[in-house]
Chains A and B, each alone.
Chain A
Amino acid sequence: VTGAEAGAGGGAEAGGGEVEPDARFTFANERTFLAWARTALAFVAAGLAIVQLLPPFPGVPWGRRLLGIPLIVIGGVIAVVGYNQWSRNQRSLRCGEPISRSVLPRVLAVAIAAMALIAAIVLLLSAILEPR
């Protein structure tokens, strides 16, 4: 969907060459931002739960923080980037420009893959270094 398509139907003139987009596109954009917000919260909650609730990894005392802190930071990044993405999309809808491609799915995929790798390494280290 381009901004031109969104503004073509139910849109109204907003002044300054911008068109008030169809309400459904505005709502859809807002829901997408809220979905990213919940994803960010899930990352932060997961990071906090790992640091605060998991028992320490035997032989790897820093393992919980190594896993939890990046998750919290990624959550913050997703929140900020998600808002920027919403803002850009809304501007595109109002100006009748094509919607730009979001970087967030790539960020999410890379983050999850990296965290899975780190978790596997911590678990392996813990199994190797565990005092018997």
Chain B
Amino acid sequence: MAPPRDLEGLPPGLAKERTELAWSRTVFAFAAMGGVILKTSIAAGLTVITLGVLIWGVGRLLPAPGTSAAAPGRLRLVAVALTGVSLVALAVALFGHGAARGLLS
């Protein structure tokens, strides 16, 4: 099927749906990450899972078309949360004690 000539004339409805799905996938990824960290540190894992829930709430506040000015704070929160998760994971990797025999042994 050939793409329509005038892309600007299309309604943005499906784009919003796709973006909502992308937020959902991101939240699932956060939850999975929290589950992995939970195995090592319950407090850190619960924090990451809580962050995932927070991001889920923020993701539901998608701006209406034409109001993208509302977005920077939401995406900044995701970036800050990700950096925090990286730092937590780094601390766990550096100072945590890995599984003595490992899952695959």
- A residues touching B (Cβ–Cβ < 8 Å)? 8-10, 12, 14, 20-24, 26-28, 30-31, 33-35, 37-38, 40-42, 44-45, 47-49, 51-56, 64-65, 68-69, 72-73, 75-76, 79-80, 82-83, 86-87, 90
Cβ 8 A contact of A27, one of B18, B37, B86, B89: B18
Known contacts A9-B7, A22-B12: A54-B92 contact under CB 8 Å? no
Per-residue contact bits, chain B 22-49, to A (CB 8 Å; 1 contact, 0 not): 1101100110110011011000000000
Known contacts A23-B65, A26-B71, A41-B82: A55-B105 contact under CB 8 Å? yes
The CA-CA distance from A67 to B23 in the complex, in Å, is 29
| Chain A residues, Cβ within 8 Å of B63 | 26
- Residue in chain B with minimal CB distance to A84: B79
| Chain A residues, Cβ within 8 Å of B92 | 48, 51-52
Contact A64 B8 (CB under 8 A): no
Q: Does B54 contact A (CB under 8 A)?
A: no
Q: How far is the CB of A100 from chain B (nearest CB, A)?
A: 17
| Chain A residues, Cβ within 8 Å of B3 | none
| Chain B residues, Cβ within 8 Å of A53 | 39, 98-99, 102-104
9 smallest CB-CB distances across A and B, nearest first, come from: A9-B8, A55-B102, A23-B65, A76-B86, A79-B82, A83-B79, A26-B68, A55-B105, A23-B12
The CA-CA distance from A32 to B27 in the complex, in Å, is 15
Known contacts A76-B87, A79-B83, A87-B72: A45-B12 contact under CB 8 Å? no
